[in-house]
Structure 1
Amino acid sequence: MAVATQHQRLSEKQRKLDALVTLEQLGARGAALERETAIHLYNKRSEFRHEYCDLEETDGRMTEGRKQEKAKLKLQLSRVHTSVSRFRRSLQDAKPSSDLVQKLKEMMEEIETSILSFKNHQREIYEMLSKEEKVVSQEVSAFEKRIYSWSSRDAVGDAIAMKPKKVQTAESKEEMPPAVTAFERFLQQTGGHQGGWDDYDHQTFLRIYKTHKGNPVFLTTALAVLPGHSEDDIMEHVQWYSEYLTLKDSQKEAIRKWKDMKQSEKAEMLIKGEAEEQRTLVNLDQKKQERMDKERAERLSKVASYKAEQELKRLAEEEERLKREVMQAREEQRQKRQRAAVKMKVEEYCKQKAEEKEIMELASDALRHEEMEKRRAANKQIDRFQERDRAAFDERKLRQQKQAMQDEERTKRLTKLKGQVDVHVERDPSRLYKLTEGWENRKKDNTTSHGGAVVSLPKRAVPSWRVGV
């Protein structure tokens, strides 16, 4: 049982550690995404600086909203933590009484209610964020497919003929404002953000239009710079561009209102959650007050009944009181003995630990002393070996010197003897060819027989053509 409990605690601790590691990784990824977004949004030299201004305002509002939501979460968590700490202190400092269990139960119910309310509120926020994430991912997917279809077109005519299909579900169509749908439909029907013109002609038109807007010179300059377009084409493009700007402004305004509406819905949901939490607390206070009133009425009724039947039940109550005192005294004695036993065990444990520590210190000192003795003996042995090596070296050196002196004396003696004896040997090469005395005796004794059969040595056969050669 103890092993299973320990294993369960370890697994729960491992889950908590894994959750903390996951939260740290998600926080790091979020910070990296925020840095990457800030690089694009707050780049002063970006060519899309004008379009990013609206995104800067949106990013600022979202950042402020996250800060406020984080502060609210911290406040709610601090309330729950305070309630739990108060419950723990009450449990530790509680004195045995008849109302203790009821008070602890009320505190536990209050803590449980606040935690459930907090969880439900956070669950609603997460569901709303999940829906928003789904809508945004669908919009991004639609924009990506539309951009891919634009980049894959070979010519403007093909682009007009092959209109990009809207990749939106029924849910996204209901979520999108009408102005955004109208602007997208206008772009699909008129050839995109350039009105069916190529990029160079459209940019040239924009430069002339912004320079000579409302000036009669505009048409002449446009015809001179854009020779591939007639006057009707240019006027039609001017009309298209005016309608394009109007619909684009309407789209921006609709998107801003839609975002404000979502933000207000989010704020209303937060306010609703706080109001619900407040109502829950108020209901708890009311229930607690009602319960206290009921208990007070019951106590008054009991007191009245007690006063009415005081004389009849006095002996029984006195006896009951004595029994309670006896039981309480016994309980106090039992608790006192238990505390004394625990104290004795603690003292015995401390004494045992002190003895173990002292034994360990003595053992450590003994090991240290033994190590020092071994080191001292080793040093003595080393000194003795070094002295022996030095004596052997000196002896070998003396022996070598003595041998050198003896060799020198022998050399001198041999030199002296060679000087005294004069040996002259003549060279006689003929003596090398002389027969030895044993051989000469053998030649003289030809009759001597050594006995035994003559051994015939094997010979190779002689070919017929070599016979007689």
Structure 2
Amino acid sequence: MAALATAVAAAAGGQQNDSYFSTGGSGQQRQNWKMKAEHAKKAEFVRIAEKLRTQLTNIEKDKNGHLYNRKSDSRVEYSMLEELEHKMTVNRKTEKTKILQQLSKIRNNVKKLQQHLEDVKHTSEFVDKLKEMMEEIENAINAFKEEQRQTYEQLLKDEKTAVNELSVFEKKVELWVLSSSTREKVLKLPSARISVDKTLENHLPEEVVEFERFLQRTGGRQGGWDDYDHQNFLKVWTKHKGRLSYMDEALEYLCGRTKKEVEQHDKWYREYLILQERKKESIKKWKETQQQEREGNLKKKEKSERMLKKEWLQHEEAQKQKAEEERKRQQEAIEAWKKQKAIAFAMEQASQLKLEEEMKKKQLKERQRQCHMKLLLERYTMQKKEKEELEKLEKEKREETKKEERKKIAAAEISKFQERDLRKLQRKIQQKQVKEAEKQEKEQRLAKLREKVHVRAARDPSRLRRPTRGWEERTKAASPPAPPPLHLPRRAVPAWRRGL
């Protein structure tokens, strides 16, 4: 029996080894490659995380040095930011502890599952318990992933909103800084020459540059005046069409201005109009020259396009010839490939037939081996069944002998019990007879006593009206009667006792 089991195991092991050597090598290499790739990904992730952590530490140091310096003038304003940062740090720490708790819970569940897998039991309850634990771990991991995904999405949205808000604030601050700097320069240095950007000087006409310089030098399009005074000046100046008769009326409208200031502003405004007109004429000329240059460029472009089209047609013709030659060469190569493939197909069919014959031989050997194993198994099962039947018959015989012995013992015990019960029954009958004899004697004795004390009295209705024996005895022993009182209250005597 042991030899047969060893032979079956050896055959099964041979088949498994054959299948392993046929498919297991590549699977092992693929698994090693996947493990190496996963290790490389983990190492890269750890490296990036360490780099980001270092950058975060440096940024926090710079921020703390700039914002939270106690000698800073804006310490009061930055204290609000410090409180907000402290609150966000506390929230981040609480969220970190929460995530660590969730991860530790998942890790404990995985460890429990591993401990259960070490002691495997082939029962349905054990399988259901393992399934329930795996589902619980999977649900916890999925819930953790979903929560982290939502958190990251919300953080990305907040980051995008913050970046947009910061860009808007930066633009506002830049505009505010530019406007404040130009205003300060105009107010403090009205006669200073402000240099125009080099790009404007290089690309714009000279009149435009001169006009811009004039505006920068004299305080903008209002000549350094505010909007209210300048508008009143323009109203009076246009009313009198620039004649000197407007001066008195202008002084009436411009209360805070002197005559000299008005004359200077009039001089500035006349120069402003002259330079503006020159600027318009130069821009007009510049546009005309640009239009002429554009038309010349269009003509050159058309000419170059015609040349390119001609070259493209020549190139296309050459490409067609080349493609035709390439097609012929490919056709020849395809024909040669078809012949080579037909030869290879014939060789492959021959090798396939040879392999099929070898496979048939192997299958035949395998079937013979399986038949042999089947016969061995059937013989083993027959021997086992015969042995079991013999053991069963021996067991039945032993049980029958035991039953007969039990019957003999039970019969002997039953006879003993019957004798004991008979003795008990005889004893009870004797006791009952003794009790009945005693009872009869007692009844006879009681009857004799009754005969002795039995009184046969005749019926005497007058006996009810006579006094009792006790009353007679009481009246005999009574003292002599006392003299009757004069008046004694007494109760009424009933009619049936009167005269007694």
Please tell me whether Structure 1 or Structure 2 has the larger radius of gyration of its CA atoms: 2
Q: TM-score, normalised by structure 1?
A: 0.33
The two structures have a TM-score, normalised by structure 2, of 0.31
